[in-house]
Amino acid sequence: KMSRHAQKLRDHDINPCVAETDATTKCLDENNYKKDMCTAYFLKYKNCRKFWHGIMMQRRRNGVKPEMPSADERKKILESVG
């Protein structure tokens, strides 16, 4: 059974970057954990976190709940920014 923290990280409504996390892990697995082979994946993950952190801060300032948009809502946000 996964820990609560691990479950949260797997929950698409809580973690907007599950796909990026998985891609990074897969890259590391396939490249014997040579981080320099997976730079692009780390960058995508970092950009994902940065983007959604910004959205969360904006929503917090505006009093919008939940601070992290749901997976469906995030899809619409991403479509609107192209």
Mean pLDDT, residues 41-63 taken together: 96
Task: Report the mean per-residue pLDDT for the chain.
Answer: 92
* Residue 65 backbone class (left: φ over 0; alpha: ψ -120 to 50; beta: rest): beta
Q: Is pLDDT at 2 greater than 80 in this prediction?
A: no
Amino acid at 33: Y
31, 38 in Cβ contact below 8 A? yes
What number is the average pLDDT over the span 54-72?
94
Q: What is the pLDDT of residue 54?
A: 97
Per this entry, what is the length of the chain?
82
Alpha helices (H) along 11-38: 18-30
Which has more confidence, 12 or 60? 60
Domain-wise residue ranges, the chain: 4-80
pLDDT band at 64 (very low <50, low <70, confident <90, very high): very high
